[in-house]
Structure 1
Amino acid sequence: MNSVYVRIFLYVVSPVLTTLVALIPGWGVTYTDGVLTVDLSTAAGAAVAALGISSAIFAKWGVK
């Protein structure tokens, strides 16, 4: 498999996986009595992790 395909796959999957962590019931998102509550620190942590993973991928394969 060409490294370009691996890089594209990781660019697409890394933000999705880190965002899904924030959606684990009871950890980042709760729904009780008709009210959806989002824990901002968990959501921000997931966004920073996604950015960090994407930056690491770019640092590894983004430079010629």
Structure 2
Amino acid sequence: MNSIAVRMALYVLSPILVALASMLAGWGVGYDATAGVLSIHVETLVTAIVAAFGISGAILAKWGIK
């Protein structure tokens, strides 16, 4: 893979991976199987998503400018 393909993959995957990691760790999203309730803590989930876009911005700052 060339560096452009890797960079584009990181741009696309970093927000998804951070959001997925936050969901799996219970940051912002929780599921109670006994009651069948999915609860979403919006502030925490938005913080994780903003952090994901921050990572994308860091990738752009590192590799996006020639």
Q: TM-score, normalised by structure 2?
A: 0.75
Q: Which runs of 5+ in 1 are unaligned?
A: none
Q: Which runs of 5+ in 2 are unaligned?
A: none
Match of 2:41 in 1: 39
The C-alpha deviation readout for 1:14-58, integer Å capped at 9, x for no partner, is: 011101022116442122323321122321121111111110111
Percent identity for Structure 1 against Structure 2: 55
Structure 1 runs of 4+ with >4 Å offset: none
Aligned length: 64
Instruction: State the distance in 2 between where 1:52 and 1:26 align.
Output: 20
